[in-house]
Each structure stands twice: as C-alpha cells, then as structure tokens.
Structure 1
Amino acid sequence: MHPGITEVRDWFERQGWEAFPFQEAVWNAYLEGKSGLIHSATGTGKTLAAWMGPVAEALAAGEATGPVDREDAPPLRVLWITPLRALAADTAASLQWPAESFHLPWSVELRTGDTTQSVRAKQKKQLPTALVTTPESLTLMLTREDATELFSDLRLVVVDEWHELMSTKRGVQTELALARIRAFKPELRVWGISATLGNLRDAMETLLGLGREGELVQGVVGKPVVIDTILPTNIDRFPWAGHFGTQMIPRVIEAIDEGGTCLIFTNTRAQAEIWYQSILQVKAQWKDVIALHHGSLSREVRDEVELGLKSGRLRAVVCTSSLDLGVDFTPVDRVLQVGTPKGVARLLQRAGRSGHQPGVPSRVTCVPTHAFELLDIAAARNAALAGKIEAREGVNKPLDVLAQHLVTIATGTGFRAQDLFREVQCTQAYKTLSQEEWDWTLDFVVRGGESLRAYPEYHRVVLGTDGVYRVEDADIAKRHRMSVGTIVSDEALNVQYLKGGKLGTVEESFLARLRPGDRFIFAGRPLEFVRIKDMTAWVRRASSVSGAVPRWMGGRLPLSSELALAIREELERAGNGELASPEMKTLGPILELQARWSAIPALSDLLIERVETREGHHLFFYPFEGRLVHQGMAALFGYRISQLVPITFTFAANDYGFELLAPEEAPLEEAIAKGLLSPENLGADIVASLNSAELARRQFREIARIAGLVFQGFPGMNKSAKQLQASSGLFYDVFARYDPNNLLLRQADREVLERQLEQSRLSRSLGRLSQSNLLITHPKRPSPMCFPILVDRLRETVTSENIHDRIEKMASQLELEAGDKIGAPDGV
C-alpha cells in the first residue's frame, strides 16, 4: 500500500471512521496519475475522496513540516471548482481541516465574487496551495498574462457538483477553461464529483475532454432514502394548484415539531416567501427559530441562516434550490418538499440534505399543494427506487461562449488561431465545430463580423506581427474582465432599508410596477416601497404582511422526462385497479370519477377530451410530457388545425396536458387524419405557430451579453434591464437586416426552440403520440383531470371578480353533480 494512504487510513481511524472502498479507489487512481468521476450519494464522503489523494501524495513526499507563513506555502497545487459561491466557504473549511491535522504547510483560500480586495491583492502576487473558486473566477485567472506560470505547479482540478454545471453554458465555460489549463499542463489530473446523475459515462467524457481515459468510481449509491407524504385529510375531486396548500400548514408544523432541524424546500422563491409567512401566522412564537433562504437574499442574510443551521439554533428553514447543493448541515434530520418535485434527481438531492453523514438514512416528506401532486409523488418514489435518474446533456456549440473565450485568452497569454482551434475541438461541446464556424467567430471578435466592421470598439482582438492574437486596448481588457461569465438574468435591483442594511435583490420588472406606498413581502418581511434611486429600491418596514409577493422569472420548473414516464406508468396501474401506495389510495376517488366521466389513459393511449361549456368548445389533450412541451404542442396543434379551417384558439397548459378553446367546434378527426400528431415539418410549423422572431429577439439579449456585444456597466453604474434589452434588440435588428447569416442569430433561434420549447423532446413526444391509441371521450362537464388546466387559463384572464371565489363556485357545482362529498379513504 502507498505510504501516504497508510497515514490517511490511520487518520480516519483516529476520527472513528472507516474509509469507504470508493474513497480508497479514488486515492489510488489519483496517485497513479489518473483522472475520473466520483459518483456517490450525498453525505458519503465525496469531498475527502477527491482531497485525500493530494494529501497522501504530500505525506509520502515528507511535506508534513508544520505550519508556515502564507508566502512560504507551496504554490497552487489543487484547484477546486464549485458551482455556487455559497458552497465555497464550507468546502474550504473541509479541505483546511485535514491539511492542518497532518501539519502540511499548505494554504487554503477562496476566490469568488465575494472575495475582498485585500485577499485578491495577495492572490495576485501568489496563489494559495489549494484554491476554491467558481467557473467565472477561474476564467478571470486565464485573462492574466502570466497564466502559464500561474498553473505551472498545478496537479489536480476538482469540479464539484458536476451534474449541476454540465448541462449549462457555465459547464461549457468550465470545459474550455480545463482545455486551456491542459494545454499548459498535459499531465493534469481532473476529477469530477456528482451525487445524482443518470448518464455517468457521458458526464465523465464531457469533463475530461475527447479521447481522454478516466476512472468512473461508484461510491455509496444505494444509501437508504425514505420518501413519504403528508396526506390531506379532505380531498376535492376537482383539484387546482394551491387549493389546499394552506390546509397543509398545521400538518407541516406538526412535522417540524417532531424534532431536530427541518428544511422546507419549495420550487420557487415566491412560494418560499408565502410558506414562510404562512407558518409564522400560525406559529408567531417561532419568529427567532425559523428562517428564509433563497438566491435573491443578500449574502449576509444567507450566511446568517446557514450559520443558524450549522449551530442548531434554527428549527426550520424555508428554502429553494439555494440549499440543494453540498453545504454540510449535519443537524438537519428532516426535509419537506412542498409541491411536486418535478424530477427524480431533484427529489433525491433534496432528500440527501437530511442524514448528511455516512450510514444515516435520508428522509424527504412531500407536501402536496393539490391532489394530483399525489400522483407525481408516488411516481417519483417508484422511479427513485428503480434507479431511474435523469440524464444531463451538455450544451452543443454555443458560439457566444466561444467568442467570450477567445477574448479571454487574447486578454491573457494570447493565442495562435489553429492551435486554439484544435484545443477547443478537444472539448465535448465543440467537437463538431467546423473551420467555417471557427473562422466566423474569430472574425467576429477581431473585426466585429460583417455588420460591425466600421466600429472600432468591436475590434477587440488584434493579430500581431508574430502571428499571435491579443487584446491590446486596456479599456477593452477591463470591460471584458468585468463581463466574464454566462449567468444572465433579468436585471435585479438591490432592496435596502432607508435606514439600515441590504435585504437582497428583486427583479426590476417587478419593482417597476410598484408605486410609492405599495406593500410587498420580501426576505420574510412586510415592506413598503419608497422609491428607486441609484439602482436600489429603497423601502421601509410595513405594519402588516398584506401586499404582493415578488415574482421572479423562470419560476416554474419543467417536469423531467423520467418523471413524466413514471406518471404515465402509475396511471396505467391505476386504470387497472392497482392503487398500492398511500398517495394513490388517497387519490382513488378522484381517479374513479375521472374513469366514470371520461377515461384513465393507459401507457399506450393519448386521451383527448371534447367538452362543451358556455365558454365554447374545449379540446383537452393529455400527453403527460410537462408544461414546456405542452405549451409548444398547444401552439403547434392550434396552427395545424387552423390551416384546415379558419379558427382562433385560446391556449392553456400544465404538466399533464393542454387545452384548446374555440368559439366553434374544431375538426379534430380531420386534423388527426392530415397529420396533427406528426413530427414531420415540426421546425417550420413551430416557427409559423409562434411569434418565434420576438422570442429569438429576447433570447438574443443573453447571447449579446455573453458574446461581449453589450456591456452591463461599471459597478454602481449598471444599465437597466430595459437598456440592455434595447441595446441587444438593436443588434438583433441590425444583424437580421444586414447580416442574416450571422451565426449568433442562428444560435438564438436554436436556443428558443431547445430551451424554451424543448423541440427535441417535443419531436420525441409527437413520435410517441403518433403511434398511440387515440382515446377520444365526450364528457358532459369538465373532468377532474381537465379542471386544473381550465383554472390555470382563468387565472390568466379573469380580473373582474375574485378568482378564488369563482373557482370554488365552479368546483362546488361539479362536486354536486358528481355525488357525495369524499374524505380520505379508510386505512389511509
């Protein structure tokens, strides 16, 4: 056995631990010079698996000489990349402790957007032995002219939570950065860490680059996970989103009261604010032991909450995905999931926040906010137990990220065109990058492309007489360093008390609707809006919580394809009379009425309901493919039917299906016969059925920012979202008119189809539906399954009366027509 590993094992024994076989496998692989991917359940020691290899290497080399001054510590040896700044401090502490225990003279530091200027100044002179950083900060390091020397002693790069990065442009940014470092250090070892991922081999190949061998190390994957549900005591047969959410508050309080610390996960920040307030309205005495945590709160507020969790001071925290990842909260012994989890991996990831230590089972208790979420929960548990975890796909060839990368390298060491082209082609994201696409992107950063040649400010990169491309203008280099990154969102304004500290950020689009004196809830506090000045929304405390809750963009998570399939399978079993789980038994009366009035679709069926009401003629389709797919499908079907007869539709969609509403009856059978369900001509029909040009124009804002066309401004002088949209819109219009072959325009079209409409999944869905058995029913009144879709449409259109009262009246009338009121079934 390697002598360093012997010392590490002895240290584990002194802590009262025993090293897992997967941990030792990673240590040995690292010491043999190998790279790879670690896949293990949350809380099973993945961090130590990746870290103790370098420690063992140092111990075997006799480096345990005791602490030294920072300046005397070894230069950068380990680079640890984390997707969230919130994880960095905990990760650094986890690395520091073993190094100090072994008396290694190493320095361990952070480098994120929160790092102080004094620390940055020290790091500019000398980097620590181990640096925990983000993809953006790593990219900034590549803008240094001495980047080659900076990484000269680097031996290992660890990419934490790789599954969160690889399917985003930040993942592509990481791929490019790793390719650049490997050009400096061909022998570099790279290890990824992941907890919940379906396509492990693909993930490893994306991380390591094309043609590089790696070790896939499977750890403790089968950690016990308990998934249960707080069942409603009464259930309506005509459910709608949120209709018994507050009914569940007392049951949630009982769950929190059972002991320990509890995380209450919601899927949106607005929902987190609502549930936090709702719990406090019942348990006002919990004011000091319950907290709120989401990504729009200030760093100081989040730090205080995380500290309260670690110390055990807090009983419960209502949170979003901001606490999904890696922060180690050992005291947490209960996790609640409000609403549908939307994905199997997300549910398991959140379950892993509890029992976050080896050998301790994880538990997640789901809290449905309407009846059909019971179906989602039962399906998610079945899929989780069967190991059906979602795959993550990388982003293919985003030229905006490539353009940013070219300017990054030109700002730093500079590059020779063909050398960097070959380097970029070694990444999974750009393996199909053509010479034409490369030449176009290079011309774009050198001369601004066809449309911007006459404007010197877009001539960012210059070809020197030595054949090396560099950024020579200091102002261009400065602006680029301030714009590095791929995270683009609706411009957020700071929210700050007139007399007091910052609370966090809220999107400008929400604040723009407020007038002085309006009240809203944010950071768990009732606030009164005063004014906007200097990119800050100034507020004062309000006397009550009555008011609006901020709405953030992208609030509704998409339903994963794995969970969608599990839901269809669960429904087929229910149609055959199999109601095995407590959730499905509770849902039984609703499904019985659905079968009586319409039908329960089998796995091979496409259920279509024709319903006529005073509103008109409704068509309800149930593909069970998720809201995003259904929105695209609704527009597509409406367009295809309208090509047969002149007809105007109103659309509505949820995760189960969608509605087409028209004043007159639609020729459904004729449309089906003429290819309504066909995946053929999908691209052209989607473009024709939607205002795709406007969607692409909006998507271009992100591309323009990442590609460096739009500068967001210097600190304290940021441009508003409206200014940025206007600037990017102007570029879009100029390119569309004078440079229609601009590859960034094509990218905008592609991203709209894939990211906003999930065209690939839509195409696969149509392929399945075109082969399905068509189950067309004619209910005399809205069925339980169509009622939530109908309600969603009313919420968007009805403003003249209280929408809640109107929906309750509709549901009550349908209940009367259905028969006796129901409660929970016996034995549940």
Structure 2
Amino acid sequence: MRIPLRMPTETKPPTPVQIVDRYFESTGRKPFRFQRDAWRAYQNGHSGLVHSATGTGKTLAVWIGPLLKWIRENPDRSQWNPKHPPPLKVLWVTPLRALAGDTENSLRQPLDALEIPWRLESRTGDSKASVKARQLKRLPTAMITTPESLSLMLTHEKLLSQLSGLEAVVVDEWHELLGTKRGVQTELALARLRRLNPLLRTWGVSATLGNLDQALESLVGLNPPTESQIVRGYTKKKLKLESVIPKRVDRFPWSGHIGTKMVPQVAELIESVNSTLVFANTRSQTEIWYQQILQQRPEWAGQIAIHHGSLDTSVRRWVEDGLRNGSLRAVVCTSSLDLGVDFTAVDLVVQIGSPKGAARLLQRAGRSGHQPDAISRLAFVPTNAIELIELAAAQDAIKAGHLEARPMLNQPLDVLAQHAITVAIGGGFESRELLDEIRTTVAYQTVTDQEWQWVLDFVVRGGNSLTAYPDFHCVKIVDGRYQLTDRRMITNHRMNIGTIVSDAAMQVKFQKGKTLGTAEESFLSKLNAGDRFLFAGRLVSMLRIRDNVAYVKLAKGKPDTVPRWMGGRMPLSTELSAALREKISEAAEGKLIGREMKSLRGLLELQQRWSSIPKSDELLIEKIKTRDGYQIFVFPFEGRLVHEGLAALLAYRISRFKATSFSMACNDHGFVLQSPHDIDIATAISRGVLRTKDLIDDILQCMNSTEMAKRQFRQIARVAGLIQPGYPGQRKTASHLQASSNLFFDVFTQYDPENLLLVQSRREVLDFQLEANRMRSALQRISDSRIVIEMPERVTPLAFPLLVDKLRERVSSETLADRIARMQAELEQAASA
C-alpha cells in the first residue's frame, strides 16, 4: 500500500511524523510510545539500545528514525528518484545470515509504502558474487550484513570513503552477540566505523537481557561522541506458561525417562491450534521427536517439518516459508528458530526439556503470539519429573525480572590479531592510532602497551617462535605504517575471516546429488556402509564417504543411531540455579506452590522421609552403599558444568589423603562419586576438600587441562590465522587441523611459554569449559552453608537419576531400560512398605 503525500482536504503537506503515522494506520496499528522515543532520540543525533520483548515492534523502533530524518531533509517529493538512490546511510548487522532475507522484507515494507527511493540490499555469505562485485563499486543506501561480512568490507580500501559517509549502524539481536567473540569482532568493527565518522549513530536491538547498561556500553563504545540511551519497550509481554504434566509422576525419575512418552499429549496440543513450534535443546532431540510425532500422527506427513542449523539452507528456507504462509502444522526445531524470523502465524510454542535459563524460556515463548497485544503461549514438556521444578523456578525468575546477564569477554587476543590484519589490508594503520581506537571498546579498554606490541609482533613476524617461517610474516611496516599487500595472504585472510569455529563437518548427500545438510566428521567417520541413522527427518543408510562427502540413501526399519553434534549441552544459568534452590527450599518447608510443585508431592515427601530436602542455606550429601560400591551424592544445584568440575576437584582432593579411585556422574542438580572404599566424607570436609584456596591449581591438576587447552587452542589458532581450514571444496579434516594446531601448541609450550595465545587458551578453558568462576562462587556459598550428611538405606528420588547416569557407562547383558525398571520396582515396593 502506498501512503498518499496529501489527503484531499489538506491545504498543506503533512509533516514527516504524520506521514509515518499514516503508514501505521494503513497497517491497523499506532506507534508505541517507546518507538516514538527511539525516533526522537535518533533525530537528536543520539545512539541507543532498544530493549523490548520479542514481537513488540523493535525493528520499526530503530528503522523509522533514519527514514523520518531523510523525509525531513528532503521535503520536495518531486526530487525523489528511485533511479538515483542516495549513497550509503544505514548498515544493519544481523547475527545470522539466514535472517537477512526476513530482515530485508521487514525493512522494505515501510520503504515501499512511503515510496522512499532508497536502494535496500543484503550482503552476506549467501549473496551472489555478481551482487557483491556491484556493491564494491557503489554500496546501497541501506545494507543488511553480518559481523563477518562487515569485517570483510573493512579489508576493501575503496569502500572506506563510502563507509565514512555512513549515518547509522544498527546491530540486531545484540543480546545474541554480546559476550561472544563475534560480539567482540563487532565491537572492533564499530570502533573502526566511528573512526571513519565520529558522528555515527549506533543503535542496538535486544530482548531478554539482564545487564542492559553493559550491553549499551559495549555497543556504543567508551566515551562515545554522541549521547546514548536505553529505550525500554514492552519488557513484560502477556505470557501463558503451562506444563504438560505426566499422568503419573514417578517418584524415581531419570533423565530421558518421560521424554517421548509424552508424544501423545504433545500431539493433542499441536492438534488444538493451527501452528506450533516444538523446541528441543539439541539437534539429536529434534530428529527423534520429529519421527515420534510422525509415528503418532502419520497423516501429518507433509504438514510437519524439522529445522536445525545442520540442515541445508534450501531445506531451512522451505520450512520457514511454510511457517509464514501457514501450510505447516508444526516444526520441530532447535535454537535455529530462536531469533528474528517473524512467524505471526505461530499459536503455540512447546519446549522439550529444561530451557536452562529464564531468558531463553522467555525468548522462545515470544515466538508465539508474535504481536505486541497477543498472548505468547508456551507448553513445557519435562524429560524427567525433576525438570518440573526448573520450570517453576524459571517462572519465578521471570516474574521477578531476574533475567540472565551476558558476561563480557575480556580482550581475546586472537580476535584482535585478526582485526589488525583486516585493517592492515584495508588501507593500513599506524600503531598508536589503532591502539587508541581499540581502547574505545569495552573488550579492549585495558589492553596494555606490551600486549599490543605482542600482537603487532605476532602479525608482522609470527612472534618469537615463528620468525624463521616466511608464511607467518603477514604485515609489513612501511614508513611507520602497517600494511598487508601480498595478494595470496589477502585472499587467505578474506576466505577465513570471522570467529565462528565449529567442528569439521561433512556434507550429507543422496547418491543422486541432493544435499540434506551437514553432520560432524567425528560421527560420520565411525559409520560403516549400511548403518542407518536419522537425518533431516528421514531414515537414511550410509553408502560411502568420498571427497569429504557422506553419500546416503533412504532406508527402512529402525535407526542404528542418531547423529550427535558437539556443543549441544546448555549449562544451567546462574540465575536459574539460584531460583531452583529457592523452590527446593520452599519444598523443604512444606510449601508447594503451583501445579508443577504440587505434582511432585509424592516424590518430595518420599525424599524427605528417606533423607532430607535441602534448604537454600544447606548442602545435602547422601552416602549410600550399593552393590556397585560406595556412593557419595552431592546436591549443590549449580548446573552440570560446575558439577563436573566440582566432582573432579573433590575426587582429586580426597585421593590425596585416601588412596582410592573414583568414577563419577553429573547432572544439573548434583553429582555422584563412586568408590570401592568407604569414604569418611565428614572428615574429608573438615580437611578442606570444599575450600576455595588453591582452587585454580587443583582444577588444573585434576582435569586433563593440557588436552583441553589443546582443543581450545585449535579455535584460537584458527581465529588468529595460524591454521587455515582450506578453500571451499578443499576443506581440511578435523584431524588435520587438530594435528596442525597441536604442533603450534607444543612448539609454543617448549620455545615460547609466555606466548599470549597459550595463556588465552588456558584462561578460556577455565572460564568456558570448567566455569571456574562459578565453581569458586559455589564453593564460597557452600562454605557459608550448613552441611547435611544423610545415610539413607536406599537410593533416594534425588539420587536416582544420578545413579542411572552412572549405569549408562556400564556394559550389561540386560538393557538399561529393563535394569532401571527393576530398580524402580524394588524402590517403589520399599517406599510403599
């Protein structure tokens, strides 16, 4: 619909604001106050962060501002010529290139309706080479891009003059980039753009975020030249959360026990509405649930689909189009549909298993009722009964506004080294000038002169260890200016720019050539010809692997396996852990608030009868002897990653004064240590096994920290440019890349032990893989708590899922399910006695 410049009865042309108001009226809406606040701030030359719930109009809040300004500056409509669009004015950065098409459609609607003669285009890794070549000559008026493509543009010196005229940059879904290396890469690129134009307006769009002030500072940089502000929209959207509670809640639950037993109830939910998103936490789960739903309702073939990041782009786009036009009844998906894509047709979101964080639950709920005045409806399906406590805790956290903060990354030098080479290609730099520029970012505000000199030395001659190798002499110093002019090195850098480092993947194709997607090399390489597995919602069997491609064909029967992708585990957030402990503490006092907690009455009463339920200022430890040995169950309720570290730490510290061996298992609620010997845990605690002193040293001793550091170093080496994945169609294998990075790791360790990339790899292991800071906080909290040691005669409801996880590791002649069923029956008989 075109918006008329002047109504028939008007004597003077409408103001720019009136023109925009008419556009909203034509869509049946009115601008919200927060949208007008953002437009006003933009007109005043300010930067800012728009924070509002999913589906409440954030995009228009930041997009209309530049349009209003242009209309005001160009009142003579007769001069508007679409054949001669204005030069670059707005850069829109999206975290996913898959979102670029949807974003472009959303931005184009008001452009077309207002007949503004801007050229709007996308520039991502999916863009055609011809489009990119044309853009190198003249950029469009508004361009949608990704952090990687933005950095790539900075390597083209001929684009800098156009970028210097940029009026505004908008970073979409800033909460997804914040606290990641891609976010740091974006910070550096924004600092470069602000150097090109000091009056640049920087705007961000965010939802479900706890640390807004830090988010704004990271977005606009330190001491920004323009005023900045947080524009708050609808942070408390109408929300309806419901639990799909099993008809019978077992008092001895275990992970995955409920799971697909809930498929009939989920199918009924899907049937009750027009369109549903079914979120699972891992790609493996999506494959399983898709098949299970289809088996439950075979007549839905063609009406339900699957969506995750390892499927081919064409498959994902077909699914997204089906959601938009309402032809799909349901889509089973992962976080690949968490962001940005606007599906107003979705009536219901189903969450399979704990979302591990209140913010993620809120984000996913917002995918339904994706309109400001609509109710977002989410149904939660537990995979074990205790997850119902997590949902109750998440609801409390949402009501209290305790959403997760995104922790900041502190000066990752691999990203800085890559950025230095990027700028060296794009016209070069002087040392002090670029140092001053990067210090305006939050990530690098404290970088020292020595660290900066190390980075320069690394990009010029490979640092202390690689001086003798010309391949690592990238940047040259010419008259005090750092430049890179070698064509081969420029091509290598441009091909591998970015910070996304994933495990090596192979394409999965039918033998006649249709691509289904990608699976990790570590999984596919272990399959034999004829092995059947679920992929892209189909049962396929392996034919052969050739040229790093796995060829498959459709199969019948039952799958032998399901692909498992690395990175599928999501840690329980700090905020949700705290809320979880509060709900359990309420239960200890006999308060069962809400359907979820009341449904667990039998389980909790039995836990209290056989052992105890810990209060928020208590740590529960249970000692139980089973036929497999002596078990020590510990329940900090801090999340799986913290528990893995704590379990290894306790085992290491106990073994220093008691010669024994341990095996262990962990979940989000606690961990178990199994030993052939009886351990006096009270004495062990009195001797300091839970102390915070010497924590880091003991962690590094008890964990296989060297091997973990080597794996982490591969990612760092890739980002810093030490290793190259290869050219398209000639990608190197994971084993090849790991061997190459291991060689660098060993050389640096022996000849350059103070290498800052080595230091970074060890720090990232502690921060990301072991969550050392959370471990320290947990131990400090425990030191202030009362230790409750119980010695129940039997395995308790809280301990049972940990015992099952321990059993999974054993080879038994009876199936795991049969063994667990027998154990449950014995315990239920004892509980009823």
| Identical-residue share of aligned pairs (%) | 54
Residue 598 of structure 2 is matched in structure 1 by 585
In the TM superposition, what is the alpha-carbon distance from 1:801 to its structure 2 partner? 3.6
Does structure 2 retain, via aligned residues, the 8 Å contact 1:34–1:189? Answer: yes
Is residue 233 from structure 1 mapped to residue 247 from structure 2 by the alignment? yes
Is residue 362 from structure 1 mapped to residue 383 from structure 2 by the alignment? no
Does structure 1 retain, via aligned residues, the 8 Å contact 2:100–2:145? Answer: yes
CA deviations on 1:263-294 (whole Å, 9 max, x unpaired) are 00000000010000000111111011000000
Map 1:44-443 onto structure 2 (within 5 A): 44-62=56-74, 64=77, 68=81, 72-212=84-224, 213-443=227-457
Normalised to the residue count of structure 1, the TM-score between the two structures is: 0.97
Q: Secondary structure at the match of 2:508?
A: strand
Q: Secondary structure at the match of 2:341?
A: coil
Distance in 2 between residues matched to 1:16 and 1:555, nearest whole Å: 42
Residue 10 of structure 2 is matched in structure 1 by none
CA deviations on 1:701-749 (whole Å, 9 max, x unpaired) are 0000000000110110000011000100110011001110000000000
CA deviations on 1:83-131 (whole Å, 9 max, x unpaired) are 1112111111111111111111111111111111121111111111111
Does structure 2 retain, via aligned residues, the 8 Å contact 1:38–1:217? Answer: yes
Distance in 2 between residues matched to 1:66 and 1:200, nearest whole Å: 42
Is residue 737 from structure 1 mapped to residue 754 from structure 2 by the alignment? no
Aligned length: 818
Counterpart pick for 1:33 among 33, 42, 45: 45
Is residue 510 from structure 1 mapped to residue 519 from structure 2 by the alignment? no
Distance in 1 between residues matched to 2:78 and 2:680, nearest whole Å: 83
Q: Secondary structure at the match of 1:75?
A: coil
Q: Which moves more between the two structures, 316-325 or 143-152? A: 143-152
In the TM superposition, what is the alpha-carbon distance from 1:5 to its structure 2 partner? 2.4
Counterpart pick for 1:752 among 758, 762, 765: 765
Distance in 1 between residues matched to 2:584 and 2:26, nearest whole Å: 52
CA deviations on 1:321-363 (whole Å, 9 max, x unpaired) are 0000110001001000001111000000000000001200111
Residue 689 of structure 1 is matched in structure 2 by 702
Map 1:492-511 onto structure 2 (within 5 A): 492-511=505-524
Residue 718 of structure 2 is matched in structure 1 by 705
Please tell me the root mean square deviation across aligned C-alpha atoms, in Å: 1.3
Map 1:325-724 onto structure 2 (within 5 A): 325-465=339-479, 467-724=480-737
Does structure 1 retain, via aligned residues, the 8 Å contact 2:82–2:118? Answer: no
Counterpart pick for 1:792 among 789, 797, 805: 805
Closer/same/farther in 2, CA of residues 2 and 178 from structure 1, 3 Å limit: farther
Q: Secondary structure at the match of 2:600?
A: helix
In the TM superposition, what is the alpha-carbon distance from 1:544 to its structure 2 partner? 2.9
Closer/same/farther in 2, CA of residues 282 and 681 from structure 1, 3 Å limit: same
Q: Secondary structure at the match of 1:495?
A: strand
Distance in 2 between residues matched to 1:433 and 1:682, nearest whole Å: 26
Distance in 2 between residues matched to 1:667 and 1:596, nearest whole Å: 23
Distance in 2 between residues matched to 1:412 and 1:97, nearest whole Å: 34
Amino acid at match of 1:305: V
Distance in 1 between residues matched to 2:95 and 2:389, nearest whole Å: 32
Does structure 1 retain, via aligned residues, the 8 Å contact 2:618–2:785? Answer: yes
Runs of 5+ in structure 1 lacking a partner? 821-828
Does structure 1 retain, via aligned residues, the 8 Å contact 2:388–2:596? Answer: yes
Amino acid at match of 2:442: Q
Does structure 2 retain, via aligned residues, the 8 Å contact 1:66–1:103? Answer: no
Does structure 2 retain, via aligned residues, the 8 Å contact 1:171–1:394? Answer: no
Amino acid at match of 1:46: K
Does structure 1 retain, via aligned residues, the 8 Å contact 2:252–2:800? Answer: yes
Distance in 2 between residues matched to 1:321 and 1:558, nearest whole Å: 14
Distance in 2 between residues matched to 1:575 and 1:670, nearest whole Å: 26
Distance in 2 between residues matched to 1:529 and 1:658, nearest whole Å: 38
Does structure 2 retain, via aligned residues, the 8 Å contact 1:65–1:103? Answer: no
Residue 825 of structure 1 is matched in structure 2 by none
Does structure 1 retain, via aligned residues, the 8 Å contact 2:136–2:159? Answer: no
Q: Secondary structure at the match of 1:146?
A: helix
In the TM superposition, what is the alpha-carbon distance from 1:811 to its structure 2 partner? 1.6
In the TM superposition, what is the alpha-carbon distance from 1:66 to its structure 2 partner? 8.3
In the TM superposition, what is the alpha-carbon distance from 1:175 to its structure 2 partner? 0.2
Is residue 781 from structure 1 mapped to residue 781 from structure 2 by the alignment? no
Distance in 1 between residues matched to 2:487 and 2:699, nearest whole Å: 45
In the TM superposition, what is the alpha-carbon distance from 1:798 to its structure 2 partner? 2.9
Runs of 5+ in structure 2 lacking a partner? 1-12
Closer/same/farther in 2, CA of residues 457 and 593 from structure 1, 3 Å limit: same
Distance in 2 between residues matched to 1:16 and 1:556, nearest whole Å: 43
Q: Secondary structure at the match of 2:665?
A: strand
In the TM superposition, what is the alpha-carbon distance from 1:65 to its structure 2 partner? 5.0
In the TM superposition, what is the alpha-carbon distance from 1:147 to its structure 2 partner? 3.6
CA deviations on 1:130-150 (whole Å, 9 max, x unpaired) are 111110000000111224213
Does structure 1 retain, via aligned residues, the 8 Å contact 2:252–2:797? Answer: yes
Residue 826 of structure 1 is matched in structure 2 by none
Distance in 2 between residues matched to 1:800 and 1:552, nearest whole Å: 28
